[in-house]
Structure 1
Amino acid sequence: MKFALRAGIGVLAAGAAVFALAPAASAAPTDINYDCQADTPLGAQSAALTQTVDASAPATVAPGGALDVVVDPAPSTVPTEVSGYEVKEVKGFTLKVPVPANSTLTGVDLTGGSGLGDTPPAWSESGGVVTVTWDGPMPGGSTFEIPTVTAHLTAGASGSIDSGLYGTSYDDPGLTFTTVVSTFLGDISAPTSCFPNPNPVLTSTAIG
Protein backbone atom coordinates (compact mmCIF):
# COMPACT_ATOMS: atom_id res chain seq x y z
CA MET A 1 0.00 0.00 0.00
CA LYS A 2 1.52 3.30 -1.08
CA PHE A 3 0.94 6.42 0.99
CA ALA A 4 1.39 9.98 -0.26
CA LEU A 5 0.20 13.42 0.80
CA ARG A 6 0.09 16.45 -1.48
CA ALA A 7 -0.42 19.68 0.48
CA GLY A 8 -0.50 23.40 -0.28
CA ILE A 9 0.97 26.26 1.76
CA GLY A 10 -0.40 26.36 5.30
CA VAL A 11 -1.97 22.90 5.15
CA LEU A 12 -1.75 21.26 8.55
CA ALA A 13 -3.11 17.83 7.63
CA ALA A 14 -0.89 14.80 7.43
CA GLY A 15 -0.96 11.07 7.87
CA ALA A 16 -3.85 8.68 7.32
CA ALA A 17 -4.71 5.22 6.17
CA VAL A 18 -7.45 3.65 4.20
CA PHE A 19 -9.59 0.69 5.18
CA ALA A 20 -10.86 -1.28 2.22
CA LEU A 21 -13.09 -4.30 2.14
CA ALA A 22 -11.15 -6.51 0.00
CA PRO A 23 -9.04 -13.37 -0.94
CA ALA A 24 -9.82 -14.96 -4.14
CA ALA A 25 -10.06 -13.05 -7.40
CA SER A 26 -7.45 -10.29 -7.44
CA ALA A 27 -7.97 -6.85 -8.92
CA ALA A 28 -5.35 -4.39 -10.09
CA PRO A 29 -4.10 -1.93 -7.46
CA THR A 30 -6.47 0.99 -6.99
CA ASP A 31 -5.47 4.55 -6.12
CA ILE A 32 -7.87 6.06 -3.60
CA ASN A 33 -7.89 9.86 -3.77
CA TYR A 34 -9.18 11.65 -0.69
CA ASP A 35 -10.15 15.32 -0.53
CA CYS A 36 -9.23 16.61 2.93
CA GLN A 37 -9.83 19.79 4.85
CA ALA A 38 -8.02 20.78 8.05
CA ASP A 39 -9.54 23.19 10.58
CA THR A 40 -6.69 25.47 11.71
CA PRO A 41 -6.23 28.87 13.38
CA LEU A 42 -5.26 30.09 9.91
CA GLY A 43 -8.63 28.99 8.58
CA ALA A 44 -9.72 25.94 6.63
CA GLN A 45 -6.84 24.41 4.70
CA SER A 46 -7.20 21.88 1.88
CA ALA A 47 -5.08 18.82 1.19
CA ALA A 48 -5.16 15.74 -1.01
CA LEU A 49 -4.30 12.28 0.20
CA THR A 50 -3.67 9.34 -2.11
CA GLN A 51 -3.45 5.72 -1.05
CA THR A 52 -2.98 2.63 -3.20
CA VAL A 53 -4.77 -0.57 -2.17
CA ASP A 54 -4.73 -4.10 -3.53
CA ALA A 55 -8.32 -5.24 -3.13
CA SER A 56 -9.68 -8.71 -3.86
CA ALA A 57 -12.88 -10.67 -3.31
CA PRO A 58 -14.52 -13.89 -4.52
CA ALA A 59 -15.85 -13.60 -8.05
CA THR A 60 -19.09 -15.35 -7.09
CA VAL A 61 -20.94 -16.52 -4.01
CA ALA A 62 -24.11 -18.60 -3.61
CA PRO A 63 -27.27 -16.89 -2.33
CA GLY A 64 -27.07 -16.92 1.44
CA GLY A 65 -23.45 -18.04 1.29
CA ALA A 66 -20.64 -16.78 3.49
CA LEU A 67 -17.67 -14.85 2.17
CA ASP A 68 -14.70 -13.04 3.65
CA VAL A 69 -13.23 -9.89 2.18
CA VAL A 70 -9.73 -8.95 3.31
CA VAL A 71 -7.07 -6.26 2.97
CA ASP A 72 -3.51 -6.46 4.30
CA PRO A 73 -1.94 -2.97 4.12
CA ALA A 74 1.81 -2.50 3.80
CA PRO A 75 3.76 -0.31 6.27
CA SER A 76 3.56 3.46 5.77
CA THR A 77 5.37 6.47 7.23
CA VAL A 78 3.97 9.58 8.90
CA PRO A 79 5.42 12.70 7.22
CA THR A 80 7.96 14.71 9.23
CA GLU A 81 6.78 18.04 7.84
CA VAL A 82 4.01 19.64 5.85
CA SER A 83 4.57 22.95 4.05
CA GLY A 84 7.60 23.65 6.23
CA TYR A 85 5.86 22.85 9.52
CA GLU A 86 7.15 20.02 11.72
CA VAL A 87 4.63 17.25 12.21
CA LYS A 88 4.80 16.26 15.89
CA GLU A 89 2.15 13.53 15.78
CA VAL A 90 -1.05 12.31 14.19
CA LYS A 91 -3.82 10.91 16.41
CA GLY A 92 -7.51 10.18 16.83
CA PHE A 93 -8.25 8.25 13.63
CA THR A 94 -11.80 7.34 12.61
CA LEU A 95 -12.35 5.46 9.36
CA LYS A 96 -15.80 4.51 8.02
CA VAL A 97 -16.74 1.88 5.47
CA PRO A 98 -20.30 0.97 4.40
CA VAL A 99 -21.46 -2.62 4.61
CA PRO A 100 -21.96 -3.56 0.92
CA ALA A 101 -25.50 -3.74 -0.41
CA ASN A 102 -26.95 -7.24 -0.83
CA SER A 103 -24.94 -8.53 2.13
CA THR A 104 -25.09 -8.77 5.91
CA LEU A 105 -22.09 -8.19 8.12
CA THR A 106 -21.48 -10.98 10.63
CA GLY A 107 -18.16 -9.78 12.04
CA VAL A 108 -14.83 -8.04 11.50
CA ASP A 109 -11.38 -9.26 12.54
CA LEU A 110 -8.48 -6.85 13.02
CA THR A 111 -5.15 -8.66 13.23
CA GLY A 112 -1.53 -7.55 13.28
CA GLY A 113 -0.60 -3.93 12.80
CA SER A 114 2.11 -1.89 14.50
CA GLY A 115 3.06 1.64 15.47
CA LEU A 116 -0.54 2.74 16.09
CA GLY A 117 -0.19 3.69 19.76
CA ASP A 118 -0.83 1.88 23.02
CA THR A 119 -4.55 1.27 22.48
CA PRO A 120 -5.36 -1.49 19.95
CA PRO A 121 -7.59 -0.53 17.01
CA ALA A 122 -11.27 -1.30 17.47
CA TRP A 123 -14.33 -1.51 15.26
CA SER A 124 -18.07 -1.00 15.62
CA GLU A 125 -21.08 -1.09 13.30
CA SER A 126 -24.13 1.13 13.27
CA GLY A 127 -26.68 1.83 10.58
CA GLY A 128 -24.87 -0.28 8.01
CA VAL A 129 -21.55 1.54 8.48
CA VAL A 130 -18.43 -0.01 10.00
CA THR A 131 -16.24 2.41 11.96
CA VAL A 132 -12.60 1.53 12.66
CA THR A 133 -10.79 3.67 15.25
CA TRP A 134 -7.32 3.90 16.71
CA ASP A 135 -6.02 6.62 19.02
CA GLY A 136 -2.33 6.82 18.24
CA PRO A 137 -0.42 9.00 18.69
CA MET A 138 1.86 8.29 15.73
CA PRO A 139 4.93 10.59 15.86
CA GLY A 140 6.11 12.41 12.75
CA GLY A 141 8.55 10.25 10.81
CA SER A 142 7.39 7.01 12.43
CA THR A 143 6.51 3.87 10.51
CA PHE A 144 3.14 2.25 11.10
CA GLU A 145 1.11 -0.62 9.72
CA ILE A 146 -2.66 -0.86 9.74
CA PRO A 147 -3.99 -4.24 10.90
CA THR A 148 -5.14 -6.80 8.40
CA VAL A 149 -8.92 -6.36 8.18
CA THR A 150 -11.15 -9.34 7.53
CA ALA A 151 -14.86 -8.62 7.04
CA HIS A 152 -17.19 -11.61 7.32
CA LEU A 153 -20.32 -11.28 5.17
CA THR A 154 -23.41 -13.30 4.30
CA ALA A 155 -24.67 -12.86 0.76
CA GLY A 156 -28.24 -11.82 0.00
CA ALA A 157 -30.58 -13.51 -2.46
CA SER A 158 -29.40 -11.86 -5.67
CA GLY A 159 -27.45 -9.03 -7.25
CA SER A 160 -23.83 -8.18 -6.56
CA ILE A 161 -21.79 -7.30 -3.49
CA ASP A 162 -19.72 -4.21 -4.32
CA SER A 163 -17.27 -2.95 -1.72
CA GLY A 164 -16.27 0.68 -1.49
CA LEU A 165 -15.58 3.50 0.93
CA TYR A 166 -17.70 5.93 2.95
CA GLY A 167 -17.88 9.71 2.69
CA THR A 168 -19.43 12.33 0.43
CA SER A 169 -18.15 15.67 1.75
CA TYR A 170 -16.17 17.41 4.52
CA ASP A 171 -19.42 17.44 6.52
CA ASP A 172 -20.02 13.73 5.86
CA PRO A 173 -16.45 12.36 5.95
CA GLY A 174 -15.25 8.80 5.76
CA LEU A 175 -11.87 9.53 7.36
CA THR A 176 -11.03 11.89 10.23
CA PHE A 177 -7.87 12.47 12.25
CA THR A 178 -5.99 15.21 14.10
CA THR A 179 -2.51 16.41 13.18
CA VAL A 180 -0.36 18.24 15.74
CA VAL A 181 2.28 20.50 14.15
CA SER A 182 4.86 22.99 15.45
CA THR A 183 4.47 26.54 14.11
CA PHE A 184 5.56 30.06 15.04
CA LEU A 185 2.29 30.18 17.02
CA GLY A 186 3.30 27.10 19.02
CA ASP A 187 1.85 23.62 18.70
CA ILE A 188 -1.38 23.56 16.71
CA SER A 189 -3.91 20.74 16.54
CA ALA A 190 -5.64 20.53 13.18
CA PRO A 191 -8.77 18.32 13.06
CA THR A 192 -9.03 16.99 9.52
CA SER A 193 -11.98 15.54 7.56
CA CYS A 194 -11.61 13.58 4.31
CA PHE A 195 -13.83 11.89 1.75
CA PRO A 196 -12.97 9.76 -1.32
CA ASN A 197 -13.30 11.69 -4.58
CA PRO A 198 -14.05 9.83 -6.75
CA ASN A 199 -15.30 6.87 -4.73
CA PRO A 200 -14.41 3.77 -6.76
CA VAL A 201 -15.88 0.27 -6.55
CA LEU A 202 -13.02 -1.76 -5.08
CA THR A 203 -14.37 -5.28 -5.50
CA SER A 204 -17.48 -6.88 -6.97
CA THR A 205 -18.87 -10.34 -6.17
CA ALA A 206 -21.80 -11.74 -8.13
CA ILE A 207 -24.45 -13.64 -6.19
CA GLY A 208 -25.56 -16.75 -8.03
Structure 2
Amino acid sequence: MIGIIEIALITFLALLPISNPFSSVPLFLSLTKGHTREWSNKQALMASIFMAGILLTFLWSGAIIIEFFGISIPAIRVAGGLIIMKVGFGMLNPKETEELSDEIKEESKTKSDISFTPLAMPSLAGPGSISVVISMAAGSDNLPGYIAISLGVLMVVLVAYLSMRGAPFISKILGVTGLDALTRIMGFILICVAFQFVLDGIGGYIESKDFLEPIIKMIKSITTS
Protein backbone atom coordinates (compact mmCIF):
# COMPACT_ATOMS: atom_id res chain seq x y z
CA MET A 1 0.00 0.00 0.00
CA ILE A 2 2.87 2.38 0.82
CA GLY A 3 4.37 1.74 -2.60
CA ILE A 4 1.09 2.56 -4.36
CA ILE A 5 0.67 5.79 -2.40
CA GLU A 6 4.26 6.79 -3.11
CA ILE A 7 3.94 6.18 -6.86
CA ALA A 8 0.60 8.02 -6.93
CA LEU A 9 2.16 11.05 -5.21
CA ILE A 10 5.17 11.02 -7.57
CA THR A 11 2.79 10.93 -10.55
CA PHE A 12 0.72 13.75 -9.06
CA LEU A 13 3.77 15.93 -8.44
CA ALA A 14 5.19 15.22 -11.91
CA LEU A 15 1.92 15.80 -13.78
CA LEU A 16 0.50 18.77 -11.86
CA PRO A 17 3.10 21.35 -12.98
CA ILE A 18 2.83 20.49 -16.66
CA SER A 19 -0.97 20.24 -16.64
CA ASN A 20 -1.05 23.37 -14.46
CA PRO A 21 -4.84 23.68 -14.06
CA PHE A 22 -4.41 27.09 -12.42
CA SER A 23 -3.06 28.59 -15.64
CA SER A 24 -6.29 27.51 -17.35
CA VAL A 25 -8.38 29.66 -15.01
CA PRO A 26 -8.21 32.82 -17.20
CA LEU A 27 -8.97 30.74 -20.31
CA PHE A 28 -11.96 29.10 -18.61
CA LEU A 29 -13.32 32.45 -17.46
CA SER A 30 -12.96 34.01 -20.91
CA LEU A 31 -14.65 31.10 -22.67
CA THR A 32 -17.55 30.85 -20.21
CA LYS A 33 -18.17 34.60 -19.98
CA GLY A 34 -21.83 35.40 -20.64
CA HIS A 35 -22.99 31.84 -19.96
CA THR A 36 -24.92 30.60 -16.94
CA ARG A 37 -23.13 29.20 -13.92
CA GLU A 38 -24.85 25.86 -14.46
CA TRP A 39 -23.51 25.63 -18.05
CA SER A 40 -20.01 26.60 -16.91
CA ASN A 41 -20.02 23.96 -14.18
CA LYS A 42 -21.14 21.32 -16.69
CA GLN A 43 -18.29 22.29 -19.01
CA ALA A 44 -15.82 22.01 -16.11
CA LEU A 45 -17.10 18.51 -15.28
CA MET A 46 -17.02 17.30 -18.89
CA ALA A 47 -13.54 18.80 -19.49
CA SER A 48 -12.27 16.91 -16.43
CA ILE A 49 -13.81 13.66 -17.66
CA PHE A 50 -12.25 14.12 -21.11
CA MET A 51 -8.91 14.98 -19.50
CA ALA A 52 -9.01 11.78 -17.45
CA GLY A 53 -10.02 9.75 -20.51
CA ILE A 54 -7.19 11.11 -22.66
CA LEU A 55 -4.45 10.63 -20.08
CA LEU A 56 -5.63 7.21 -18.85
CA THR A 57 -5.92 5.96 -22.44
CA PHE A 58 -2.32 6.89 -23.17
CA LEU A 59 -1.24 5.47 -19.81
CA TRP A 60 -2.79 2.03 -20.26
CA SER A 61 -1.91 1.83 -23.96
CA GLY A 62 1.61 3.14 -23.40
CA ALA A 63 3.16 -0.34 -23.34
CA ILE A 64 1.45 -1.22 -26.63
CA ILE A 65 2.70 1.99 -28.26
CA ILE A 66 6.25 1.38 -27.03
CA GLU A 67 6.26 -2.24 -28.20
CA PHE A 68 4.63 -1.46 -31.57
CA PHE A 69 7.19 1.17 -32.50
CA GLY A 70 10.09 -0.69 -30.89
CA ILE A 71 10.98 2.23 -28.63
CA SER A 72 13.21 1.59 -25.64
CA ILE A 73 12.27 2.81 -22.17
CA PRO A 74 15.35 5.08 -21.88
CA ALA A 75 14.40 6.69 -25.21
CA ILE A 76 10.86 7.36 -23.94
CA ARG A 77 12.22 8.97 -20.78
CA VAL A 78 14.71 11.19 -22.64
CA ALA A 79 12.16 12.24 -25.29
CA GLY A 80 9.51 12.89 -22.67
CA GLY A 81 11.98 14.86 -20.59
CA LEU A 82 12.94 17.07 -23.53
CA ILE A 83 9.28 17.80 -24.35
CA ILE A 84 8.51 18.59 -20.72
CA MET A 85 11.63 20.75 -20.49
CA LYS A 86 10.49 22.83 -23.47
CA VAL A 87 7.10 23.38 -21.85
CA GLY A 88 8.77 24.25 -18.55
CA PHE A 89 11.01 26.91 -20.09
CA GLY A 90 7.93 28.31 -21.85
CA MET A 91 6.13 28.59 -18.51
CA LEU A 92 9.18 30.10 -16.83
CA ASN A 93 9.48 32.74 -19.56
CA PRO A 94 5.94 33.17 -20.94
CA LYS A 95 5.43 34.98 -24.21
CA GLU A 96 3.43 38.14 -24.45
CA THR A 97 0.85 36.50 -26.69
CA GLU A 98 -1.68 33.94 -25.52
CA GLU A 99 -1.19 30.29 -26.38
CA LEU A 100 -4.60 30.22 -28.06
CA SER A 101 -5.33 32.74 -30.80
CA ASP A 102 -8.18 35.22 -30.62
CA GLU A 103 -9.88 33.41 -33.53
CA ILE A 104 -9.97 30.14 -31.59
CA LYS A 105 -11.32 31.89 -28.51
CA GLU A 106 -14.05 33.65 -30.49
CA GLU A 107 -15.04 30.38 -32.14
CA SER A 108 -15.13 28.66 -28.74
CA LYS A 109 -17.52 31.27 -27.38
CA THR A 110 -20.10 30.39 -30.04
CA LYS A 111 -19.79 26.62 -29.54
CA SER A 112 -22.33 24.75 -27.48
CA ASP A 113 -19.55 22.66 -25.93
CA ILE A 114 -15.98 23.73 -25.12
CA SER A 115 -15.15 20.87 -22.76
CA PHE A 116 -13.08 18.74 -25.15
CA THR A 117 -11.41 21.53 -27.09
CA PRO A 118 -9.85 23.83 -26.10
CA LEU A 119 -10.22 22.93 -22.39
CA ALA A 120 -9.34 19.22 -22.18
CA MET A 121 -7.20 19.26 -25.32
CA PRO A 122 -4.77 20.99 -25.55
CA SER A 123 -5.06 23.07 -22.37
CA LEU A 124 -5.22 20.38 -19.65
CA ALA A 125 -4.11 17.22 -21.47
CA GLY A 126 -1.67 18.42 -24.08
CA PRO A 127 1.47 16.75 -25.49
CA GLY A 128 3.46 17.49 -22.33
CA SER A 129 0.95 15.79 -20.04
CA ILE A 130 0.72 12.82 -22.39
CA SER A 131 4.53 12.56 -22.38
CA VAL A 132 4.52 12.40 -18.59
CA VAL A 133 2.02 9.54 -18.36
CA ILE A 134 3.76 7.53 -21.12
CA SER A 135 7.11 8.07 -19.37
CA MET A 136 5.59 6.95 -16.07
CA ALA A 137 4.09 3.91 -17.80
CA ALA A 138 7.51 3.04 -19.24
CA GLY A 139 8.89 2.84 -15.73
CA SER A 140 6.18 0.48 -14.45
CA ASP A 141 5.92 -3.20 -15.31
CA ASN A 142 3.13 -4.43 -13.03
CA LEU A 143 -0.60 -3.87 -12.44
CA PRO A 144 -0.27 -2.18 -9.00
CA GLY A 145 2.11 0.34 -10.57
CA TYR A 146 -0.37 1.23 -13.31
CA ILE A 147 -3.15 1.53 -10.74
CA ALA A 148 -0.98 3.84 -8.63
CA ILE A 149 -0.16 6.03 -11.65
CA SER A 150 -3.87 6.13 -12.52
CA LEU A 151 -4.65 7.37 -9.01
CA GLY A 152 -2.05 10.13 -9.43
CA VAL A 153 -3.63 11.14 -12.74
CA LEU A 154 -7.10 11.24 -11.17
CA MET A 155 -5.78 13.41 -8.34
CA VAL A 156 -4.57 15.96 -10.90
CA VAL A 157 -7.92 15.73 -12.71
CA LEU A 158 -9.67 16.51 -9.41
CA VAL A 159 -7.47 19.59 -8.93
CA ALA A 160 -8.30 20.68 -12.48
CA TYR A 161 -12.03 20.27 -11.86
CA LEU A 162 -11.91 22.21 -8.58
CA SER A 163 -9.83 24.94 -10.26
CA MET A 164 -12.41 25.42 -13.00
CA ARG A 165 -15.32 25.31 -10.56
CA GLY A 166 -13.60 27.87 -8.37
CA ALA A 167 -12.18 29.92 -11.26
CA PRO A 168 -13.91 33.20 -10.29
CA PHE A 169 -12.70 32.90 -6.70
CA ILE A 170 -9.14 31.90 -7.68
CA SER A 171 -8.90 34.74 -10.19
CA LYS A 172 -10.16 37.22 -7.62
CA ILE A 173 -7.74 36.08 -4.91
CA LEU A 174 -4.57 35.62 -7.00
CA GLY A 175 -5.19 38.12 -9.77
CA VAL A 176 -3.18 38.24 -12.99
CA THR A 177 0.13 38.74 -11.16
CA GLY A 178 -0.49 35.85 -8.80
CA LEU A 179 -1.44 33.45 -11.59
CA ASP A 180 1.64 34.50 -13.56
CA ALA A 181 3.89 33.92 -10.54
CA LEU A 182 2.30 30.51 -9.93
CA THR A 183 2.86 29.55 -13.57
CA ARG A 184 6.54 30.51 -13.35
CA ILE A 185 6.97 28.46 -10.16
CA MET A 186 5.31 25.48 -11.85
CA GLY A 187 7.64 26.00 -14.81
CA PHE A 188 10.73 25.80 -12.61
CA ILE A 189 9.48 22.61 -10.95
CA LEU A 190 8.71 21.22 -14.38
CA ILE A 191 12.27 21.85 -15.61
CA CYS A 192 13.62 19.96 -12.59
CA VAL A 193 11.28 17.03 -13.31
CA ALA A 194 12.34 17.07 -16.97
CA PHE A 195 16.04 16.94 -16.10
CA GLN A 196 15.38 13.97 -13.83
CA PHE A 197 13.56 12.18 -16.66
CA VAL A 198 16.50 12.80 -19.02
CA LEU A 199 19.09 11.67 -16.45
CA ASP A 200 17.07 8.52 -15.70
CA GLY A 201 16.83 7.82 -19.43
CA ILE A 202 20.55 8.27 -20.03
CA GLY A 203 21.39 6.22 -16.95
CA GLY A 204 19.03 3.46 -18.08
CA TYR A 205 20.67 3.33 -21.50
CA ILE A 206 24.18 3.17 -20.02
CA GLU A 207 23.11 0.23 -17.85
CA SER A 208 21.40 -1.58 -20.74
CA LYS A 209 22.84 -4.36 -22.89
CA ASP A 210 22.70 -2.14 -25.99
CA PHE A 211 25.38 0.06 -24.45
CA LEU A 212 27.43 -2.52 -22.55
CA GLU A 213 27.61 -5.39 -25.06
CA PRO A 214 29.63 -3.54 -27.76
CA ILE A 215 32.06 -2.32 -25.09
CA ILE A 216 32.45 -5.82 -23.64
CA LYS A 217 33.01 -7.30 -27.12
CA MET A 218 35.61 -4.65 -27.90
CA ILE A 219 37.45 -5.32 -24.62
CA LYS A 220 37.41 -9.09 -25.27
CA SER A 221 38.75 -8.61 -28.82
CA ILE A 222 41.58 -6.47 -27.51
CA THR A 223 42.54 -8.88 -24.72
CA THR A 224 42.44 -11.97 -26.96
CA SER A 225 44.44 -10.43 -29.79
- TM class, shorter-length: under 0.3
TM-score (norm 1): 0.25
Larger RCO (alpha carbons 8 Å, 6+ apart): 2
TM-score (norm 2): 0.23
Q: Which has the higher helix share?
A: 2
- Higher share of residues assigned strand: 1
